[in-house]
Amino acid sequence: MSLNHTDFKMFLDEVTKIVDADGDRDEKLQKICDLLRDRVSFYDWVGFYIVDPEEKILHLGPFAGEPTEHVKIPFGQGVCGQVARDEVPMIVQDVSRESNYLSCSPLVRSEIVVPVFKEGRSVAQIDVDSHEPAAFSTRDRAFLMKVCESVSHLF
């Protein structure tokens, strides 16, 4: 299910090229979403939520996949809101067992959310949904943490 080390390096190199290229932040985030969704078979929805620290709310940024009604998520609500509040990555292997889950699609079976940090504070997060149960491992978390580290330069 997980990516192998070769894939990790290849994708991280491509993410770095996107971050370093010309263009605005949202264009680059969109390209990263498209890259991951198109090239990782079990990443069925990939998106960025942007943190509004004063309002304590997440705003949907660029994404790849089916549209979602969750364009604003208060801190603490759903998996993304929990990650915004706690500022730690979260893997949910079976969303049906998560009491605080916000459903984007009945097809989603598992989810991973990783915060993006800039100067020690959370500024955004990457959210990945899979239609497969237990799709994500600690290797996916480590990979997405490196993606977020690269993306942090855009904020």
Q: What's the pLDDT tens digit per position in 82-128? A: 999 999 999 999 988 877 777 777 789 999 999 999 999 999 999 99
Helices (H), 21-129: 25-39, 78-86
pTM greater than 0.75 (yes/no): yes
Domains, the chain: 5-154 (3.30.450.40)
User: How far is the C-alpha of 135 from the C-alpha of 26, rounded, in Å?
Assistant: 27
pLDDT of residue 98: 78
Tell me the mean pLDDT in the region 58-72.
96
Query: CA Rg, the chain, in Å?
Result: 14
User: Between the CA atoms of 137, 87, 76 and 100, what dihedral angle is there, to the nearest 10 degrees?
Assistant: 10
Q: Per the structure block, which two tokens stand in for 102? A: 């916000």
Q: What's the pLDDT tens digit per position in 17-55? A: 999 999 999 999 999 999 999 999 999 999 999 999 999
Residue 125's closest CA among 88, 100, 96, 76? Answer: 88
pLDDT of residue 84: 97
User: How far is the C-alpha of 126 from the C-alpha of 115, rounded, in Å?
Assistant: 6
Q: Per the structure block, which two tokens stand in for 26? A: 């949202």
User: How far is the C-alpha of 65 from the C-alpha of 39, rounded, in Å?
Assistant: 13
CB 108 within 8 A of CB 95: yes
Helices (H), 22-73: 25-39
